[in-house]
Amino acid sequence: MSLFLYGSSGDCRQELGNPDEVEYSAEDIRRARERATNLINSYVGKAYPSNVPFASGDTPNQLNTLCDDLSVFFAKRSKHHGPAPLSDEIKEEYYDKSIALLEAISKGDVELPELEGKQGDAILAPRKGYSPTFGEGDELSWDVSPDKLTDESDARD
């Protein structure tokens, strides 16, 4: 199955300043979009595992925008080799801000509007440090940890 690339090659080219085909070929932009799409999938897949990779027509708008920005970064980086290939401003604007947003999406701090409620239930079971309530033996021998009962009672006071 071929990878569906997020974003738009035309938007990337426009963000690059509408360079001609000699400066940034269609293949350069495709390669940059592929890198950006793969990077996005690696972050977003943690928060939305059943949705990633997205298909044509169902990609959240925010991911298309992130892909365009990251693609610009990757395209510029490929053309500017050397010890200081890109200015800090370009890296911050097109890469650092995008990665910060992807990290927030990955952690669940930011939810994509088109996928609201599709992250699944985050079930927290704060039972660490207590003996299990249910054992493997006879159910008549099961009981709640006395430490857990004391902690819950103290929390109510």
In a domain, 3, yes or no: no
Same domain, 28 and 102: yes
Statement: residue 121 has pLDDT above 60: no
Statement: residue 95 has pLDDT above 70: yes
Q: What distance in Å separates the CA atoms of residue 152 and residue 130, rounded to the nearest whole number? A: 12
User: What sign results for the dihedral spanned by CA atoms 104, 108, 114, 119?
Assistant: positive
Same domain, 67 and 142: no
Q: What is the dihedral of CA 114, 57, 64, 8, to 10 degrees?
A: -160
Q: Provide the angle, in degrees to the nearest 10, between the axes of the packed helices 97-107 and 26-47.
A: 30
How many residues comprise the chain? 157
Mean pLDDT, range 48-54, rounded to an integer? 84
C-alpha to C-alpha distances, 52 to 3, 35, 55, 91, 133, nearest whole angstrom: 11, 15, 8, 26, 37
Same domain, 45 and 62: yes
Alpha helices by DSSP H, listed for the chain, are: 9-15, 26-47, 61-79, 88-91, 97-107, 146-156
In a domain, 66, yes or no: yes
Statement: residue 157 has pLDDT above 90: no
* Domains identified in the chain, total number: 2
> What is the average pLDDT score of the chain?
85
C-alpha to C-alpha distances, 21 to 13, 14, 68, 127, 145, nearest whole angstrom: 10, 12, 18, 60, 70
Same domain, 32 and 15: yes
122-133 pLDDT, tens per residue? Answer: 555 666 676 666
Could you tell me the residue range of the domain that residue 142 belongs to?
124-157
Same domain, 138 and 68: no
pTM over 0.85: no
Q: How many helices (H) and strands (E) does the chain have?
A: 6, 0
Which residue do the tokens 């169902």 mark? Answer: 58
